[in-house]
A and B are shown apart, each in its own frame.
Chain A
Amino acid sequence: MSVATDPRWPREHYLSEGFRLRDWLLTTDHKRIAWLYLASITAFFFLGGTAALLIRLELITPPGDLVSADTYNQLFSLHGIVMVWFFLIPSIPATLGNFLIPMMVGARDLAFPRLNLLSWYIYTLGGLFTLAAVIGGGVDTGWTFYTPYSTMFSNSAVIAAAAGVFIVGFSSILTGLNFIVTTHKMRAPGLSWFRLPLFVWANYATSLIMVLATPVLSSVLMLIVVERLLGIGIFDPALGGDPLLFQHLFWFYSHPAVYIMILPGMGVVSEIIACFSRKPVFGYHGMVISIMSIAVFGFIVWGHHMFVAGQSIYAGIMFSFFTFLVALPSAIKTFNWTATLYKGRITFTAPMIYALSFVGLFTIGGLTGIILASIAIDVHVHDTYFVTAHFHYIMVGGMVTGYLGGLHFWWPKMTGRMYSELWSKVAALALFIGFNLTFFPQFILGYLGMPRRYHEYPVDFQVLNVMSSLGAGVLAIGYLLPLFYLFWSLRFGPAAGGNPWRAKGLEWWTDSPPTKHNFHRIPRVTESAYAYDPTAE
């Protein structure tokens, strides 16, 4: 049955209001801006992914034979910069968050719709600078831009790359600002703070980090650009400046930014697990407190990136202690997800497979984080593949999996269409298998002493590296498949109807795709979030 004749297909919705270029580029509708972001971050994801694939191809053989050492440096820098700033940080907030937060709080739009569009343009401008850096010879400092290498010695396009990241920072500041004001001021009648879905809480906490940490990154990147451009040396040891100050300021942002790259995923997973277990999230208040305390603790642990950089041992001990503390709220969340599953009526849809993958992979990433927080062990494995594997388990195994899970969960809401059930499950499983095959060997490689960022290695490490590269191939299939069946669903997918998963939450009260102002009438909320009835049916 074609959707046009399907009674569940709404006659008027936000996508039926014009499809010309200007209807997209000048829109202030948060739902359309979410699509603009979705298209841009997908492009950047595949750019960063191509760099990763080249890295893994190079590492199949011990000698550096595919690319030169310089090119290799540029590849991992490009991979890091693009994936962190142009994919992971905007991923869930700017796409799913943009689309869903106004609907979840029962509002017609975000508080500042034009600012929302502006932040997409700022994102695009930052992206152009970064592309200019790639075309203009690449950048080889790694995504962290450590001084004095980035300011005094690197001959690559540091200015363009740092300026790109500086600019894109303002995009996330403005997005965060918009979300915070919307959550505070625009909730529907009856929607008290403790009735908000955890997805909103997670994005709220993320926004706080974006608003309070990103400006510090901006100031430190500004100092780098100024140092290279005007010759003003703040970090120059010859003048009595200190390169370590750069690391302090950089990680003051970039550690909280790690939580920008996991908290929204936690929000998504909470929604999915509750829906497909048909149970309220276990320990809702504990979940909220955990989300907020992860955001707060995130600001006082930055020194654990600098255990071997020469900071005082007492600072090291404190940072190590605070880092252990982050494990508490993270563990509370993991146990609560598990407890939500307990005695639930579980259905293994594609979003659910992604969500369960998230829980498993995040647990491994989190536990290895505790290992790294112990100073004595960190001295041994610092700057090895152990660290690489650890943060990929959080950022890819966690966030990217959560992002794809969320995309599959809300795709029917965003497009009004269903996708292939079989192929989506295949893609979710390919991601889980491919991911583990890629990154688990890296834990062993790192523990055996293989350092990060080298384009050649001793023959002894080859078996594990080949496993990792094979895994990257499987992982690539897991990422490419959704591209095909999701596009397919846009044209051929059956109509989804307002609430195909029979989920709770205000966004499911309205049509799919929703009308321009989200609701035909602003909803009045009378029950807590996740009011699933486990005994129904």
Chain B
Amino acid sequence: MPTTQPLNEAGQVAEQFNDIDQQVQSNLFGMWLFLSTELLLFGGVFAGFIVFRVIHGEAFAAAAGHLDLMLGSLNTALLLTSGLTMALAEQLVNNTRRRATLVMLLATIALGAIFIGIKGYEWYHEYEHHLMPVLGLPFEYPGEHPQQAELFFNFYFTLTGLHGFHMLVGLGLLSVIAILTWRWRDPPRIARQVQISGLYWAFVDVLWIVVFSLLYLLRS
């Protein structure tokens, strides 16, 4: 098998790079580019939402009032805290403190999982109140402009669903990193991986702040 070689064997530079510095720079740059594509993926939906938020201002503001602001704020706090623990993990892994890094990674995973749980509870809540216009489920909106409210909830489920999907990907990623940290085979390499996944996790945090502001805070 001369054509395929495992990259990054303990401490090694991948065959296409000249040195480790070039490799690190390329990986970081690649991740930033990937995040910019993610931003545009969400950007399309954000743009659509903002257009309709302007056109149907009153109806959307009223519909937003039916979301649970308390739980939304709690989730925001949880996610921001997980951003802190992730940043701490990045600091600690650079100081080669294995146990503390692992604790911070697990804390990040736990906070993210609680976020998903609360989000799921919110969805269930909306399902019970017939505010989930998905798969032909009944949609019984108590206020005025029920059609435009349905459009609002369509966006709500699209945006939170898309964000939730990214959270799940991030949790999977962090779990792999946690296992690698637990094994502690190649600390410099783990440090690079923590840095890259930290970028992704921070990005998912920032996205949530936009999602939260658009959906929950613009209410009447």
Contacts and interface: CB of A to CB of B under 8 A. Distances in A.
B133 A232 contact: yes
B134 A186 contact: no
B25 A239 contact: no
Contacts of B12: none
Number of contact residues on A: which range applies?
35 or more
A185 B151 contact: no
B4 A215 contact: no
B30 A181 contact: yes
B33 A180 contact: yes
B2 A177 contact: no
B48 A216 contact: no
Given A181-B29, A181-B30, A239-B150, A215 B44 contact: yes
A220 B30 CA distance: 24
Given A212-B37, A233-B151, A240-B147, A223 B157 contact: no
A516 B2 contact: yes
Contacts of B45: 219, 223
Interface in B5-33: 5, 7, 15-18, 22, 25-26, 29-30, 33
Nearest to A16: B2
Interface string A3-19: 00000000000100110
A251 to B, nearest CB: 12
Interface in A483-497: none
A415 interface: no
Interface in A209-267: 211-216, 218-220, 222-223, 226, 230-234, 236, 238-242, 245, 249, 252
Interface string A127-165: 000000000000000000000000000000000000000
B56 A240 contact: yes
Interface string A104-118: 000111111110000
A173 B37 CA distance: 8
Contact of B154 (A32, A177, A233, A516): A233
A230 to B, nearest CB: 5
Given A27-B3, A28-B4, A215 B37 contact: yes
B135 A177 contact: no
A177 B37 contact: yes
Contact of A240 (B4, B135, B148, B157): B148
B52 interface: yes
Contacts of A17: 2-3
Given A110-B16, A173-B37, A239-B148, A220 B44 contact: yes
Contacts of B155: 234
Given A109-B15, A223-B45, A114 B3 contact: no
Contacts of B154: 232-234, 239, 241
Nearest to B41: A215
B43 A216 contact: yes
A18 B2 contact: yes
B48 A234 contact: yes
Interface residues of B, number: 48
A241 B52 contact: yes
A26 interface: yes
Contact of B3 (A18, A213, A231, A241): A18
A109 B52 CA distance: 46
Interface string B34-75: 101111111111011001100110010000000000000000
Contact of B33 (A18, A113, A211, A219): A211
A216 B4 contact: no
A495 B113 CA distance: 61
B95 interface: no
Contacts of B59: 240
A454 to B, nearest CB: 32
A230 B37 contact: no
Contact of A177 (B17, B33, B145): B33
Contacts of A108: 15-16
Contacts of B34: 177
Contact of A186 (B4, B16, B42, B151): B16
Contact of B158 (A181, A223, A239): A223
Interface in A87-121: 102, 107-114
A213 B44 CA distance: 10
Interface of A: 14, 17-18, 22-23, 26-29, 32, 102, 107-114, 173, 177-178, 180-181, 184-186, 211-216, 218-220, 222-223, 226, 230-234, 236, 238-242, 245, 249, 252, 516-517, 522
24 contacts: A18-B1, A18-B2, A27-B4, A28-B5, A29-B3, A107-B16, A108-B15, A109-B15, A109-B16, A110-B16, A111-B16, A177-B33, A185-B25, A186-B16, A213-B40, A215-B39, A219-B40, A223-B45, A223-B158, A234-B48, A234-B158, A238-B147, A239-B150, A240-B55
Closest 10 CB pairs of A and B: A219-B44, A109-B16, A215-B41, A215-B40, A239-B151, A216-B44, A240-B148, A232-B154, A185-B26, A27-B3
Interface of B: 1-5, 7, 15-18, 22, 25-26, 29-30, 33-34, 36-45, 47-48, 51-52, 55-56, 59, 133-136, 145, 147-148, 150-151, 154-155, 157-158, 162
Given A26-B3, A27-B3, A108-B16, 19 more contacts: A28-B5, A111-B16, A111-B30, A184-B29, A185-B22, A186-B17, A212-B37, A213-B40, A215-B37, A222-B162, A223-B158, A226-B158, A232-B134, A232-B157, A232-B158, A234-B154, A236-B151, A239-B148, A522-B18
